[in-house]
Amino acid sequence: MSGFFKSKFFYVVAVLTLLAVIVPTVLCAMGQTSFLRSAVNTVLMPVQKLSDKAAEAIEGFTSYFTAFDKMKNENLRLKEEIASLREEVAGAREIREKYEWMSKYLELKMLHQDYKMVHAVISGRGSANYSNVFMLDAGRISGIAKGMPVVSEDGVLGYIAEVGPTWSKAVSILEASSSVGAFVERSGAIGVIEAEYDLSLEGILKMSYLDEDADIKVGDRILTSGYGSVYPRSLIIGYVETVSTDEFSRSVTATVRPASRLDQVSEVMVVTDYEIYAEEQ
């Protein structure tokens, strides 16, 4: 065996091997290429190109099998990405909702610049069936007192019935015991919004004490009058759904669909002070 390593063949091969390592490496480092290397590439390039085209077609077929792990990992990665994006979308949606809510409150605030309002979140609802009571996460410490109106961006929701240091309970205008002075925005006809049990089950209010010739039509917007109640003037109560005249007394009554629905609201404002309210106080 040692004879081989002493042979001329071995020396020639060893030298060629070293040259095959050193020459291309050095030339490559210098940004050049050797004639032989260039020749090999030039000769084989067409074959390689052709083979690559064939390989491309084969790859398309074999990728069904070989790319399984890759696709599995990609699937996992995409799932994580989707979860992350969903979180972002949820966050963005929340921000948008907040923005819309704030915009509407800003509109309300612009309309009633005399209002001083405290933000509160509905933290719970009445435990009894058909209960129209809801709990707020702000109380006396925040400046909330009994009798203060609670509004949403759409209109009147109710008033504060009970106050604790950090909580309060409000009664919806749908509560059978409540009544609100109101008027028809279009004609100025005055009446009283009351809640009746049967109607309140359907989420509807009754407007009574309207004059016999009161100008009221279906679709009219009803606002608070600000007289004889806890509510300031011009807050939206709802829209007229039906109008009827009593055959005997000839008095006119209407049903009103509240503009603000308790089941669709999660954040509210408590009006802690307003001009008329202050005057009345």
Partner 1 sequence: MRFTRKNSNAADGELSLPERLREKFNTWRLSFSIDGEVVAKAAIFAFFIILFSITQTTLLSRIRPLGAVPDLLLPFVVAVAVSEREKWGAIIGLVSAFVIDALGGVRIMLLPLLYVPTGIVCGLLTTYRFRDSVPVNAIYTVVTSVLRSFIAMIIGFNSIRGISAGQAFTDIALPAFFANIIFAVFPHILVRLTMRPFHKTRAERTSKEI
What is the rounded CA–CA span in Å between residue 153 and residue 65?
A: 58
Residue among 60 and 219 whose Cβ is closer to partner 1: 60
Residue among 28 and 90 whose Cβ is closer to partner 1: 28
Residue among 59 and 114 whose Cβ is closer to partner 1: 59
End-to-end CA distance of the chain: 117
Among residues 32, 58, 106, 121, which is the contact residue for partner 1, using CB under 8 A?
58
Residue 66 in contact with partner 1, rule: CB under 8 A: yes
> Which residues neighbour 171 within 8 Å (Cβ) at sequence distance 6 or greater?
132, 133, 158, 159, 161, 177, 178
Residue 130 in contact with partner 1, rule: CB under 8 A: no
Residue 64 in contact with partner 1, rule: CB under 8 A: no
Residue 32 in contact with partner 1, rule: CB under 8 A: no
Among residues 6, 31, 35, 54, which is the contact residue for partner 1, using CB under 8 A?
54
Map tokens 């309207």 to a residue: 210
Residue 74 in contact with partner 1, rule: CB under 8 A: no
Which helix (H) or strand (E) is 18 found in, with range?
helix 8-29
Minimum distance, C-beta of residue 74 to partner 1, in the bound complex (Å): 14
Q: Is the dihedral of CA 101, 106, 108, 113 positive or negative?
A: positive
Categorise residue 130: left if φ over 0, alpha if ψ from -120 to 50, beta otherwise: left
Among residues 31, 32, 35, 51, which is the contact residue for partner 1, using CB under 8 A?
51
Q: How many residues bind partner 1 (CB under 8 A)?
A: 35
Among residues 62, 75, 166, 266, which is the contact residue for partner 1, using CB under 8 A?
62
- Answer yes or no: are the C-beta atoms of 144 and 158 closer than 8 Å: no
Q: How far is CA 47 from the centre of its chain?
A: 60
- Answer yes or no: are the C-beta atoms of 204 and 256 closer than 8 Å: yes
Residue among 12 and 121 whose Cβ is closer to partner 1: 12
Residue 30 in contact with partner 1, rule: CB under 8 A: no
Contact segment (CB under 8 A) with partner 1 among 58-66, 91-99, 105-113, 120-128 equals 58-66
Among residues 59, 87, 114, 280, which is the contact residue for partner 1, using CB under 8 A?
59
- Bridge partners (DSSP) of residue 207 are 193, 254
What distances in angstroms separate CA 202 from CA 184, 196, 216, 221, one per listed residue?
A: 22, 10, 22, 19
Q: Is the dihedral of CA 186, 189, 195, 200 positive or negative?
A: negative
DSSP 8-state symbol, 186: T
Among residues 6, 31, 44, 273, which is the contact residue for partner 1, using CB under 8 A?
44
Residues of this chain that interact with partner 1 (CB under 8 A) are 1, 4, 7-10, 12-14, 16-18, 20-21, 24-25, 28-29, 36-37, 40-41, 44, 47-48, 51-52, 54-56, 58-59, 62-63, 66
